[in-house]
């Protein structure tokens, strides 16, 4: 069993559970940094799709790193892809020798809790167990765990290869040794870690979600239109996207999921009160860019304010 004074060595091998956008992005930056990765997908088809995404991402990355040498590019791609493996069952992975296991599955609390409860007895004492949750408290995710000293959060941002930030979340029981090891791992894969205690939304989303909700309430009150609010925030504050553009990019279903969850847990906090405009769009299956319409319509003519009821 790990004690508070034990130091974790260099992370050489990780297991990532989940082959979605976050999982594949984390895998890409890890293999590029020389960290061996085993990805766990729900099916062979999911694994094949993840393999193609990672390979395409690595190829683009190596073209930037070696712009003048096709041979150097291919050699770097081959080196990175050689340390990537896939399994369709997490218990087929070499869990006993993994330095870190990162959960990047669907944002469903019961699914995450069961996964960590199942993983805990299968990994080595030195292994760090990590969640990539963006909306749940670590204390809730680890509710069924016994070894909370080696549990922490690494909140990566989408798209992982391009976004430099990782929020390193410390649970109530996370040891100093485990926490320091997670920060070092982030630096190893080229990310900038910021430290945060376990709290709703951590740093970024705790500030971001109320801001996005206020933008919706402003539009609902008739103070300003969607396009004008976005223009004001882009040109007035230097934001690369206005709040409505950003919500469409994130996915309105994701935005609603986070707000609904926080409102249920903290009903007295008006910042998380549901917004009618968001609820209406999600009910109409208008989720943003991924469905072609949200607060904006996306088509051949580019991004245009969407007609709304």
Q: In the structure, what pLDDT confidence band is assigned to residue 32 with cuts at 50, 70 and 90?
A: very high
In the chain, the percentage of residues whose pLDDT exceeds 70 is 97
Question: Which residue in the list 61, 132, 135, 155 is annotated as catalytic?
Answer: 155
**CB 138, CB 173: distance < 8 Å:** no
Calculate the alpha carbon distances from 209 to 45, 79, 114, 267 in Å: 34, 40, 28, 15
From the candidates 61, 132, 134, 277, give the one annotated as an active-site residue.
134
pLDDT value of residue 203: 96
- Tens digit of each residue's pLDDT (9 = 90 or more) over 261-299: 999 989 999 999 999 999 999 999 999 999 999 999 998
Query: According to the model, what pLDDT value does residue 136 have?
Result: 92
Give the model confidence (pLDDT) of 89-124 as tens digits.
999 999 999 999 999 999 899 999 999 999 999 999
> Residues 8-28: what's their mean pLDDT?
95
CATH number of 204-300: 1.10.1040.10
Mean pLDDT of 54-69: 93
d(CA 258, CA 260): 6
- Expressed in angstroms, the distance from the first to the final Cα of the chain is 59
Q: Over 90: is that where the pLDDT of 164 sits?
A: yes
What is the pairing mode between strands 192-197 and 165-170? parallel
Task: State yes or no: pLDDT of 188 exceeds 70.
Answer: yes
Return the pLDDT at 109: 93
The pair of structure tokens assigned to 163 is 């976004």
Compute the distance between CA of residue 107 and CA of residue 192 in angstroms, rounded to an integer: 24
Instruction: Give me the pLDDT at residue 7, please.
Output: 64
Q: Tell me the domain boundaries of the chain.
A: 13-197, 204-300
Task: Over range 187-210, report the average pLDDT.
Answer: 95
* Average pLDDT across the chain, whole number: 94
Question: Is 2's pLDDT higher than 60?
Answer: no
| 167 part of the active site | yes
Residue 1 has pLDDT above 50, yes or no: no
Statement: residue 3 has pLDDT above 70:
no
User: What is the Cβ-side half-sphere exposure of residue 62, based on CA atoms within 13 angstroms?
Assistant: 23
Mean per-residue pLDDT for 128-136? 94
- pLDDT at residue 5, rounded to an integer: 44
Annotated catalytic residue, options 167, 219, 245, 277:
167
Place 6 in a pLDDT band, splitting at 50, 70 and 90.
Answer: low
pLDDT at 135: 86
CATH 2.60.120.260 assigned to domain 13-197? The reply is no
134 annotated active-site? yes
Q: 80-89, 92-101, 296-305: lowest mean pLDDT where?
A: 296-305
The pLDDT assigned to 304 comes to 87
Q: Which of 66, 107, 205, 263 is catalytic?
A: 205
Q: List pLDDT tens digits, range 212-250.
A: 999 999 999 999 999 999 999 999 999 999 999 999 999
């Amino acid at each position: 069993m790990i004690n508070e004074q034990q130091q974790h060595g260099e992370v050489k091998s990780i297991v990532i559970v989940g082959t979605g956008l976050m999982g594949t992005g984390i895998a890409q930056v890890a293999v590029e940094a020389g960290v061996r990765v085993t990805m766990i997908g729900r099916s062979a088809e999911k694994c094949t799709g993840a393999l193609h995404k990672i390979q395409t991402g690595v190829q683009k990355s190596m073209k930037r790193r070696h712009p003048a040498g096709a041979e150097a590019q291919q050699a770097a791609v081959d080196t990175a892809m050689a340390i990537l493996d896939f399994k369709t069952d997490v218990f087929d992975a070499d869990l006993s020798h993994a330095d870190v296991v990162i959960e990047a599955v669907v944002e469903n609390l019961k699914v995450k809790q069961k996964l960590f409860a199942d993983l805990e007895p299968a990994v080595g004492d030195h292994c760090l167990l990590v969640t990539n949750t963006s909306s749940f408290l670590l204390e809730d995710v680890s509710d069924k765990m016994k070894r909370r000293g080696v549990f922490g959060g690494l909140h990566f941002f989408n798209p992982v290869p391009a976004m430099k930030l990782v929020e390193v979340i410390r649970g109530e029981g996370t040891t100093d040794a485990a926490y320091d090891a997670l920060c070092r791992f982030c630096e190893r894969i080229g990310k900038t870690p910021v430290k945060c205690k376990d709290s709703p939304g951590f740093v970024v989303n705790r500030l971001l979600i109320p801001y996005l909700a206020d933008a919706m309430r402003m539009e609902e009150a008739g103070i300003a239109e969607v396009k004008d609010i976005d223009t004001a925030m882009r040109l007035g504050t230097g934001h690369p996207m206005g709040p409505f553009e950003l919500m469409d990019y994130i996915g309105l279903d994701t935005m609603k999921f986070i707000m609904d969850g926080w409102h249920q847990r903290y009903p007295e906090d008006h910042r998380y009160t549901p917004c009618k405009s968001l609820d209406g769009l999600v009910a109409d299956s208008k989720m943003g860019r991924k469905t072609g319409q949200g607060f904006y319509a996306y088509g051949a003519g580019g991004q245009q304010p969407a007609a709304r009821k």
